[in-house]
Amino acid sequence: MSKIHNFSAGPSILPKEAIQACVEGIQNFAGTGLSLLEVSHRGKEFVKVVEDTQAIIKELMDIPEGYEILFLGGGASMQFITVAYNLLENKGAYLKTGVWAANAAKEAKHFGTVEIIASSEDRNYCYIPKNYTIPTDADYFHCTSNNTIYGSQMQSFPDSPVTMVCDMSSDILSRKVDVSKFGLIYAGAQKNMGPAGVTVVIVRKDILGKVSRQIPSMMDYAVHIKSESMFNTPPVFPIYAMLQNLKWVKQQGGVEGMQKRAKARAELLYSEIDNNPLFKGTVDKEDRSQMNVCFLLTDDSLTDKFNAAWKAAGISGIVGHRSVGGYRASMYNALPLESVEALVNVMKTFNS
Ligand SMILES: *Cc1c(COP(=O)(O)O)cnc(C)c1O
């Protein structure tokens, strides 16, 4: 089988080394002679997997003291609810930069007032709003670091006067971030960290315990912290697979290594989009995402020809989200530059 270039938006590409390690763990987990899929999550071998995964995330992201790392089910979408459940007493301030940000704000409304402090909906989310003011009477400010569907990315984070909460699902570990600026970071694993099924929550303990409502145990960060992310059966296999991927990230130079790879991929593809008259980008240049690159053909009549050419080159997963159309190349941590070169080569040659 010839090489497949996997640009899937999520679940998405994992390094073959991580997949191989998963195969081994499924067959014989940590020398137990049993499959990872059939042992207790409270056995010492799996407890070590959880501890090792927390330790490697702490190291890779340079997480300061005072933060806890949780591995929860329910996807990033569950965190839209859990964040507000735990933090929203009076008002949450939301930056509306796309569908995920809008969904987060919508769920928070179940718990109190939601103020959209800025939105880029007026131009179909093709930019990141600037010059907004975060109200000091909000319980927290919520933002989405990378707009997976529309392909825009926050290039920097504001100095928030209130607790900053960030959905980093689609760019976590792809660039250096000062974790101390945030009270809470969450990320569904299936884009940059591992397979679907686990969501990483990095939470500073001192922001918790301030709302007056009763929180059901499964929704309460404090309960999960107290039981070391083992309140109920955690997503055992996704955590194990994530650890294998994070070991690979570390071997590749950690976040700095991922940042270099992301920059090289993005420069190559955006430069082709900007220099090839057959294509155009959909996002304001200064806000372009290094992870999800959205683009259109300038001449729709070439659609069939272009589609046939990238399919023939083994390229997979670049059809745009239904709300944007065109193409979206998702270039998460594990994607090699070689795959972007293959796509650029098709873009250069398909109409000649
Ligand atoms: C994919 C994605 C989500 C949704 O994640 P689920 O795990 O499917 O709930 C939320 N936010 C962002 C930024 C995403 O990219």
Is there a domain that residue 242 lies in? yes
Of 236, 251, 266, which residue is a domain's last? 251
Residues 301 and 320 in one domain: yes
Tell me the per-residue pLDDT of 240-262, one tens digit each, with 9 for 90 and over: 999 999 999 999 999 999 999 99
Is 333 part of any domain? yes
pTM of the predicted model as reported, rounded to 2 decimal places: 0.98
Q: Which of 170, 242, 294 is the best mutation target for the ligand 1 pocket, counting ligand atoms within 8 Å of the beta carbon and taking the most?
A: 170
Catalytic residue among 191, 220, 287, 310: 191
Let me know whether 180 and 327 are in one domain.
Answer: no
The answer to whether position 41 is within a domain reads yes
Residue 2 counted as domain residue: no
pLDDT one-digit tens code per residue, 157-198: 999 999 999 999 999 999 999 999 999 999 999 999 999 999
Asked about 167 being catalytic, the answer comes back as: yes
The minimum-distance atom of ligand 1 relative to the CA of 170 is 15
Whether 157 and 197 map to the same domain: the answer is yes
Number of domains in the chain: 2
Rounded Cα gap, residues 205 and 311, in angstroms:
48
- Residue owning tokens 């589609």: 307
Are the C-beta atoms of residues 122 and 128 closer than 8 Å to each other? no
Protein residues whose CB sits closer than 6 Å to any atom of ligand 1: 10, 75-77, 100, 144, 148, 167, 169-170, 188, 191
pLDDT digits (tens, 9 = 90+) for 83-139: 999 999 999 999 999 999 999 999 999 999 999 999 999 999 999 999 999 999 999
One domain for residues 183 and 214: yes
- C-alpha 254/C-alpha 173 separation (Å) is 8
pLDDT over 90 at 1, yes or no: no
CA–centroid distance, 174 to ligand 1, in Å, is: 16
Answer yes or no: do 24 and 119 share one domain.
Answer: yes
Residues 227, 318: one domain? no
Q: Are residues 237 and 265 in the same domain?
A: no
Q: Please, what is the average pLDDT of the chain?
A: 97
Catalytic-role residue among 167, 171, 220, 287: 167
Tell me the mean pLDDT in the region 315-330. 93
Sign of the CA dihedral with 77 first, then 83, 86, and 88 last:
negative
CATH number at residue 128: 3.40.640.10
Nearest to 80 by CA among 112, 106, 99, 62: 106
Q: Is 4 within a domain?
A: no
The domain containing residue 150 runs over which residues?
16-251
**Are residue 155 and residue 30 in the same domain, yes or no?**
yes
pLDDT tens, residue by residue, 28-80: 999 999 999 999 999 999 999 999 999 999 999 999 999 999 999 999 999 99
User: Is 226 an active-site residue?
Assistant: no
Distance 107 CA to ligand 1 centre (A): 14
